[in-house]
Amino acid sequence: MQASQRIKGVLGGGSDGWEVFTRARQMISAGTAVTELTIGEHDIGTAAPILQDMHRAAMGGHTGYAAVPGTHALRDAVAARFTAHTGVATRRENVMITPGGQSALFAAHTAVLDPGDTALYIDPYYATYPGTLRGVSATPVAVKAQAADAFQPRASDIAAKAVGAKSLLINSPNNPTGVVYSRETLEGIASVCRDHDLWLISDEVYDTQIWEGAHISPRALEGMAERTLVVGSMSKSHAMTGSRIGWIVAPEHIIEHLINLTTHTTYGVAGFIQDAALFALQQGAAFEAEIAEPFRRRRELAFGVLAKQNVVRAVPNGGAMYMMLDISATGLSGEAFANALLDEHHIAVMPGESFGDAAIGHLRVAMTIEDRAFEQALQTLCAFAARLA
């Protein structure tokens, strides 16, 4: 008996992009100390008050089946937050609670794509994007953002591939680059979506991690609310990665269909986790800023290290918990450099090639360890690059 072609084709016959991460974890399991700058996992746990509220909710009995689209209270809170952040009137009926942002990405594309439809996405991209699109039986097509443009995607490049396409997936602040899309970039994207009748799926899970500029949700742009699905999550904004809770904000008729999909797939999110997420949202913007602050601080530390050398260059990262570093002056690919760095110095970073062809010759560094250790690891990386160059 054979597995389905769809499930066998999720990776498209290629790599999943996680080889260096996997090798680092194997080294750790074997007893080798490795400095991990690979995944977007906070170096703090979920805040104790959130866990205490989760425990209270569970002990209070909210452990049975919860409402499939999410509790009224949590959907109302997400809608209110979205309205406050974007100025777009958003109601409970526009919100679907999901088991994390990845589930939301899969559900959003299921809602707007039929098998064989062309689905566009921007390269560099988060490593799961192509597989998510193949998983819903779409045909993924990458649109390269250029390093020369600081990885701001050009509307003309998107338009060139938009004929016959059905959707476009974007991510700002961006993982892996840390780039925050400018208003000009987003207006250009919106124009292409309107001209070519594209659905826009906007992954905004890093919306609270803004270091320069401002986060603009494309749903707030003219004519975009009716064609945009926004993916959000508690993972990055509230350090609740393991709680697996996120949402989709979309037109009401799409949410109605997503409720049907959820009924036949995940059947919702545990009630006590939803209650804890509601509690976390109620802590307001100050709490979100507190969770984000370590990454702002480490970004400044990184700039201090990089200013003292001239081999490694940083992509302008206006947001998110990552830095994208150009190491092309070493003559190595990102993959070769990352593997050599792991072998010689036991420092694990993600090769740019894990995130698409546009990031060849780059590394993604997660700013997710204690300040001094992060600074020392980056100093070692730069010294290693200088020796190679």
Q: Over the stretch 45-73, which tens digit does the pLDDT of each residue have?
A: 999 999 999 999 999 999 999 999 999 99
Q: Is the pLDDT of residue 36 over 90?
A: yes
| pLDDT on residue 11 | 86
- The whole-angstrom separation of Cα 352 and Cα 342 is 15
Residue 178: predicted pLDDT: 97
Give the pairing of strands 165-171 and 118-123: parallel
**Cα–Cα distance for residue pair 383/389, rounded to 1 Å:** 10
- CA torsion through residues 168, 173, 179, 181, sign: positive
Q: Is the pLDDT of residue 338 over 80?
A: yes
Mean pLDDT of the chain: 96
Q: Per-residue b/e over 319-342, b at no fewer than 16 CB within 10 Å?
A: bbbbbbbbbbebebbbbbbbbebb
State pTM to two decimals: 0.96
Q: Is residue 322 helix, strand or coil?
A: strand
Give the full edge-to-edge strand order of the sheet including 362-366. Answer: 35-37, 347-351, 362-366, 322-326, 313-314
Beta bridge partners of 365: 323
Q: Residue 267 above 90 pLDDT? A: yes
Residue 364: CB atoms within 10 Å: 28
What is the pLDDT averaged over residues 123-128? 96
Read off the tokens for 13: 């016959």
Q: What is the pLDDT of residue 200?
A: 98
Kind and range of the H or E run holding 278: helix 271-281
What CA–CA distance (Å, rounded) separates 12 from 101? 22
> 19-29 and 334-345 helices cross at what angle (nearest 10)?
10
CA distance linking residue 126 with residue 105, whole number of Å: 11
183 burial type by CB count under 10 A (0-12 exposed, 13-18 middle, 19+ buried):
exposed
CB neighbours of residue 193 within 10 Å: 27
The answer, yes or no, to whether residue 16 has pLDDT greater than 80, is: no
Domains of the chain: 5-45+286-388 (3.90.1150.10), 64-283 (3.40.640.10)
